[in-house]
Amino acid sequence: MKTSQCLECHPEPSLTSSKAVYVLTGCVGVIGANSMVLGPIGPEVAASLGATVPAVMMAAAAFGLGTAASALFLARFIDLVGSARMLKFTMSLLGAALLFCASSPSVTLFVASQLIAGVASGIALPAIYASAAAIAQPGRESRTIGKVLTGWTLSMVAGVSFSVVLTELISWRAVYVSVSGLAALALFALIRLNMQDRPAAGIAPSPLSALSLPGIKSLLMVCGVFMTAFYGLYAYLGDHLHQGLGLPVTANGVVAVAYGAGFGCAAFLSGMVDKLGTRRLMQPVLLVAAAVYLGLALLGGSFMAVIFLLFTLGLVNHLGVNLLIQRLTAIDPAKRGTLMGLNSAVTYLAVFAGSSGYGPLYTHHGFALAALVSLGLTVLAVLTCLWRDFAGQAIRAAD
């Protein structure tokens, strides 16, 4: 009985693969908007619900936990049911969860709504990434995945900055109503696109079975510490700027735009990734990220320095995510959905760990020490990459 199949997406003949890429990019943008807006508007949400910022940021932790759990236990059905069907269902669920967020009267219900949003996102993201890898032309995988990843740029530049303005002018609740509307628009685009799946035959493999594939554990470890370093620090950057530096909430939007601009500019480097290869670039990208965290620890009191450093961080984060997706999907193309499910599970466990673990660290020791912890985690990612590549070379030499 077959337990793994290659996921393929086949739009109608009248539609080009580029249209599918644009729709997938939009879906990432909607998911990204929800996952990234809470940090900048967190102080306003806390004031409205009569809670502390760390209590409100537990919603980000709940989102991460829900995303990780569904990516781990439900994303394997992407290969069996088909990514298009799963994506339509999850975008519907995400839109409903965001409406619940907008109407939440208490922080408890707000956290619960984000947990539901996380469950939807945990299936949607692997479906999107697996589809992008499947429709990419040979030799252009980085360019295709890079285009889809620009959805995170849309969420940062347009979504987060707009959410800050909307919060100032109307309310934070209007932000979640707006993002819910964007989810409905993405669902409409998916229906119009009419992507045709070739679902796998047989039983969907357990995602844990993929852990036996060579090299996957070390890549997932790199993903976990890399993402924890970012999401943990980003969750409290908004409060640092607002409370620590005394800046208005709109300053958080400026920083989000800087990060998103850097993330988007990295798309122009996708050709370089295809040319030089993922193995050669992974460690340098991680080292630059480590340098950024060191800069934030030393220069976090300067708003202009934070803007520059967040632009650089956006650049290297895009490259890092792109490289990880390529290296993971290359392990076994027949298990793209399962592998991307593991990737999303680890990523959003990192969101949970970062958002919850950095709270006491930031509250009791400040932003600078939190940035140094991110530095240490990124150095650990570099060392893991070096060990993985060295071990791989030793095995090939022995053969």
CATH number for 319 = 1.20.1250.20
Contact 5/336 with Cβ under 8 angstroms? Answer: no
Number of domains, the chain: 1
> Residue 183 falls within a domain, yes or no?
yes
For the residues of 238-272, what is the DSSP string, one character each? HHIIIIIS---THHHHHHHHHHHHHHHHGGGGHHH
Q: Which amino acid is at 204?
A: A
> Residue 4 falls within a domain, yes or no?
no
> Residue 37 falls within a domain, yes or no?
yes
> Residue 41 falls within a domain, yes or no?
yes
Instruction: Please state, in angstroms and rounded to a whole number, the distance separating the CA atoms of residues 75 and 204.
Output: 9
> Residue 212 falls within a domain, yes or no?
no
pTM above 0.85, yes or no: no
Per-residue pLDDT tens digits for 124-181: 888 887 777 676 666 666 677 777 877 777 777 777 778 878 888 898 899 999 999 9
Strand intervals (E) in 11-85: none
Per-residue pLDDT tens digits for 95-132: 999 999 999 999 999 999 999 999 999 888 888 877 77
Domain span holding position 336: 12-196+217-398
> Residue 201 falls within a domain, yes or no?
no
